[in-house]
Structure 1
Amino acid sequence: MKIYKFILIGILACVTLPRCTDDFTEINQNPSAISGDDISARYFITKSQVKLMAPDRYPYWRAHLIHADRYAGHFCFGHSSSWWSGELGYSYSGGYTDAAWDYFEGYTGTIVTFLQVTGDGGDRENPLAHATALVLKSLFYEYFSDTFGEIPYSETGQLDILLPKFDTHQAIYQGIINDLDAAMNAIGDATSTGETDEDLGENDLFYGGDLQKWKSLANTIKLRIALKALGAPGADFAQPAINEALSAPLLADEGDNALMSKDIEISQWNSAAYGDVWYNFGAGSDWTVSQEVINYLQNYDDPRLSKYAQPAVGGEITIPWPDSDDEALYLKRKNFILSALDAAGAVYTEASNENGESVISMDPDTFYVGQPVRLRGEMGNYARYDLFSKPAQYIIQNKGEEEPIAPEIVVTTAESHLLQAEAIVRGVGSGDANAHYQMGLRQAMLLWGVDPAEIDDFMANSSMATLDGTNDLEKIAIQRWLAYYTEGFHAWAVVRDLGYPASLADGVSDSDIFGFGDISGHYPQRMRYGTNAYSRNLDNLEVAIGRQGPDVQDTKLWWAE
Structure 2
Amino acid sequence: MLNFHYNIKDKRMKNQFKIYVLMMAVSVSLLTACKKDFGDLNSNPNVPLSANTKYLFSSAVIGTRGIPNGAAGLLYVQHMAEFIYTNESRYQQIQYSYDGIYAGPVQDLQRIIKLNTDPATKSLKEVLDNGSNENQIGFARILKAFVMLQITDRWGNVPYREAGLGETNSQPKFDTQKFIYNDLLKELKEAPLQLVTAQPNDPLFGGDITKWKKWANSLRAIVALRMMKTEDVAVAKAAFSEAVTAGLMASNADNAIFNYQSNATYESPWYTNYVRNGRTDYGVSQTVVDNNMKPNADPRLPVFSRTVGSPAVYKGIPYGVTDQYSAGVDGALLGRAIYAQNFPLQLTTYAQMCFTMSEAVLEGWVAGSDAEMISWYNKGIEASMDQWSAVSTNPIVSITTAQKTAYEAMPNVLLTAGQTHDQKLEKIQTQKWLNFYMNNGYEAWAEWRRTGYPVLVPARDAANADKKIPRRQAYPKTESDLNKVNYDAAVAAQGPDALSTRLWWDRS
Q: 1:464 to 1:380 in 2, by over 3 A?
A: closer
8 Å contact kept, 2:351–2:381:
yes
Q: Which runs of 5+ in 1 are unaligned?
A: 1-8, 56-62, 194-199, 315-362, 400-404, 509-513
Post-superposition offset of 1:367: 1.1
**Cα 1:177–1:212, aligned 2, differ >3 Å: closer, same or farther?**
same
Separation in structure 2 between the aligned mates of residue 518 and residue 289 of structure 1, nearest angstrom: 23
Secondary structure class of the residue paired with 1:15: helix
Question: How far is the alpha carbon of 1:115 from its aligned partner?
Answer: 2.3
> Counterparts of 2:55 and 2:16 in 1: how far apart (Å)?
5
Structure 2 counterpart of 1:346? none
Letter of the 2:375 counterpart: A
For 1:502, the aligned partner's letter is V
Once the two structures are TM-superposed, the CA of residue 300 in structure 1 deviates from its matched residue by 1.5
Moved more, 12-21 or 516-525: 12-21
What is aligned with 2:361? 424
| Aligned mates of 1:481, 1:13 — CA distance in 2 | 38
CA drift at 1:255 = 1.2
* AA of the residue aligned to 1:149: G
- Distance in 2 between residues matched to 1:86 and 1:500, nearest whole Å: 24
Tell me, in whole angstroms, the C-alpha distance in 1 between the residues paired with 2:399 and 2:414: 19
Aligned mates of 2:27, 2:414 — CA distance in 1 = 48
The answer (yes or no) to whether the contact 2:21–2:55 under 8 Å persists in 1 is no
TM-score scaled to structure 1, two decimals? Answer: 0.75
Counterpart contact for 1:87–1:375, Cα < 8 Å: no
> Contact between 1:150 and 1:168, CA under 8 Å: does it hold in 2?
yes
CA distance in 2, matches of 1:32, 1:369: 62
Indicate yes or no: 2:333 matched with 1:390.
yes
Kindly tell me: are residues 555 and 93 of structure 1, through their superposed partners in 2, closer, same or farther at Cα, counting changes over 3 Å? closer
Tell whether 2:295 aligns with 1:299: yes
1:25 to 27, 31, 35: 31
CA offsets per residue over residues 235-291 of structure 1, 9 Å max, x none? 542111112122221001121111111122143xx77521222245544x5201111
Aligned to 1:407: 344
Measured in 2, the distance between the counterparts of 1:390 and 1:302 equals: 17
Letter in 2 for 1:151: V
Stretch moving more, 531-540 or 270-279: 270-279
CA distances 1:401-435 after superposition (whole Å, capped 9, x unpaired): xxxx3201111011111111111112222221111
Match of 1:179 in 2: 187
* 2:458 is the alignment partner of 1:524: no
Contact 1:16 1:266 in 2 (8 A): no
Alpha carbons of structure 1 residues 18 and 524: separation in structure 2 relative to 1, 3 Å = farther
Cα deviation for residue 104 of structure 1 reads 2.2
Cα distance change, pair 119–309 in 1 and its aligned pair in 2 (3 A): farther
How far does the alpha carbon of each residue in 1:138-160 deviate from its partner, in whole angstroms, 9 at most, with x for none? 10001111111111001224575
CA contact under 8 A between 1:180 and 1:219: conserved in structure 2? yes
Task: Identify if the C-alpha distance between structure 1 residues 479 and 142 changes in structure 2 by more than 3 Å, giving closer, same or farther.
Answer: same
1:475 pairs with 2:427:
yes
Contact 2:204 2:258 in 1 (8 A): yes
SS at 2:98's partner residue? helix
User: How many Å separate the matches in 1 of 2:183 and 2:475?
Assistant: 22
- Equivalent AA in structure 1 for residue 334 of structure 2: P
Aligned partners of 1:288 and 1:389 also within 8 Å? yes
Task: Give yes or no for the alignment of 1:484 onto 2:436.
Answer: yes
Distance in 1, Cα, partners of 2:479 & 2:102: 9
TM-superposed deviation, 1:389: 1.4
Larger radius of gyration: 1
**Alpha-carbon offset, residue 75 of structure 1:** 1.1
Listed as ranges, the matches of 1:3-22 within 5 Å are 12=18, 15=21, 22=28
* Corresponding position of 2:78: 73
Please give the secondary structure, in 2, of the residue aligned with 1:527. coil
Per the TM alignment, residue 44 of structure 1 is displaced from its structure 2 partner at its CA by: 2.8
| Alignment check: 8 A CA contact 2:305 2:334 kept | yes
Alignment RMSD, CA only?
2.9
Instruction: Please give the alpha-carbon distance, in whole angstroms, between the structure 1 residues aligned to 2:218 and 2:424.
Output: 21
Tell me if 1:163 matches 2:168: no
Query: Amino acid of the residue matched to residue 245 of structure 2?
Result: S
CA 428–289 in structure 1, closer or farther in 2 if over 3 Å, else same: same
Identity score, percent:
24
Contact 1:206 1:259 in 2 (8 A): yes
Deviation at 1:541, TM superposition (A): 0.8
Q: In 2, are the aligned partners of 1:289 and 1:371 still within 8 Å (CA)?
A: yes
State the 1:111 CA deviation. Answer: 2.0
Q: Distance in 2 between matches of 1:271 and 1:118?
A: 32
Q: For 2:205, give the aligned amino acid.
A: Y
**Distance (whole Å) between structure 2 residues aligned to residue 277 and residue 266 of structure 1:** 12
SS of the residue corresponding to residue 127 of structure 1 reads helix
Contact 1:303 1:455 in 2 (8 A): yes
Are the equivalent residues in 1 in contact too, given 2:30–2:38 (CA < 8 A)?
Answer: no
Aligned partners of 1:24, 1:409: CA distance in 2, in Å?
34
> Is 1:104–2:101 an aligned residue pair?
yes
CA 1:525–1:367 in 2, change beyond 3 Å: closer, same or farther? Answer: same
Tell me which of 496, 499, 502 is aligned to 2:455.
502
The match for 2:236 is 238
CA distance in 2 between partners of 1:126 and 1:186 (Å): 9
Aligned to 1:134: 141
Provide TM-score, normalisation by structure 2.
0.82
Structure 1 contact 262–273 (Cα < 8 Å) conserved: no
One-letter amino acid of the counterpart of residue 157, structure 2: E
2:175 partner amino acid = D
| CA distance in 2: counterparts of 1:541 and 1:126, whole angstroms | 35
**Counterpart Cα distance in 1 of 2:52 and 2:22:** 17
